[in-house]
Amino acid sequence: MTTDWKDIPDNVREATQVLWDYHNMHHELRPTDVGIGLGSHDLGVADYTAELFHKGMFPIIVFTGANAPTTVALFPRGEAVHYRERALELGVPPEAILLEPRATHTGENISMTRQILAKHSIYPSSVTLISRPYQQRRAFATSKKLWPEVDVVCASRPISLEQYIREIRDPLRVLHMLAGDTQRVIEYPSHGYAITQDVPPNIYAALEHLIAAGFTNRLIRGNS
């Protein structure tokens, strides 16, 4: 399949838009105790975390993430390390950044961030989770399962699907990962990894469109 977004079949693009909209939690930004930048292939997470810091949305940042197969070439020193370097370039003072460089999935992002904060005697009552746009819902569901006492605000760069794909320059990566994130929202509650969320019928249908089109690389092993 071509990597040109405009050449991807209309029904797949429409299904992708449905899922993109679903994953946006539409939380209103408000000040919280800590901003947590979740590692991924998207350096824009670091950009937006720095922007929110400068707007006074939180006084301290934790960047969390080691590497995944999809990020090791992009961020050879680890996602969190590269995010920190980017934030420093954008004027965030080093003393405002804590680093969690070991997490390899969202559950570890949350649990290991809690450990790092506790080591610094920081026990937040509220956090802002900054993620790639289509990770918001899964990040929220995971955090509410593993850190239920904390008030969670989800945030991502305010950007359209089409603009995001133009910037990422890899629509196939986005579609594979979007299918995987959606499947995890559906499946993870039964494994105890996340809280249950409402999944309307059109979300199941859109996911099936992506799976039928071959976007299966990021699905949970054993599913097709």
Whether the per-residue pLDDT at 78 is higher than 60: the answer is yes
Mean pLDDT of 181-200: 96
How far is it, in rounded angstroms, from Cα 129 to Cα 113?
A: 11
Whether the per-residue pLDDT at 169 is higher than 90: the answer is no
User: Residues 3-58: pLDDT tens digits?
Assistant: 678 888 999 999 999 999 999 999 999 999 999 999 999 999 999 999 999 999 99
How far is it, in rounded angstroms, from Cα 135 to Cα 129?
A: 10
**Same domain membership, residue 132 and residue 189:** no
Residue 198 identity (one-letter amino acid): D
Whether the per-residue pLDDT at 174 is higher than 80: the answer is yes
Query: Is residue 197 domain-resident?
Result: yes
pLDDT at 3: 63
Whether the per-residue pLDDT at 94 is higher than 80: the answer is yes
**Same domain membership, residue 125 and residue 164:** no
Q: Which residue has the higher pLDDT, 220 or 59?
A: 59
Mean pLDDT of 205-215: 96
**Same domain membership, residue 49 and residue 133:** yes
**Same domain membership, residue 82 and residue 116:** yes
DSSP bridge pairs for 152? 127
Q: Which residues are within 8 A (CB) of 136 and not within 5 positions of it... i.e. 6 or more apart?
A: 23, 24, 25, 129, 154, 155, 156
For the full predicted model, state whether its pTM sits above 0.85. yes
Mean pLDDT of 63-91: 92
**Same domain membership, residue 42 and residue 150:** yes
User: Residues 108-118: pLDDT tens digits?
Assistant: 999 999 999 99
**Same domain membership, residue 122 and residue 53:** yes
Enclosing domain of residue 165: 5-23+160-212
pLDDT at 71: 84
Query: Is residue 65 domain-resident?
Result: yes
pLDDT at 69: 77
**Same domain membership, residue 44 and residue 129:** yes
**Same domain membership, residue 127 and residue 191:** no
Checking phi first, is residue 103 left (phi over 0); if not, alpha (psi -120 to 50) or beta?
Answer: beta
Mean pLDDT of 148-164: 96
Residue 60 identity (one-letter amino acid): I
pLDDT at 223: 39
pLDDT band at 2 (very low <50, low <70, confident <90, very high): very low
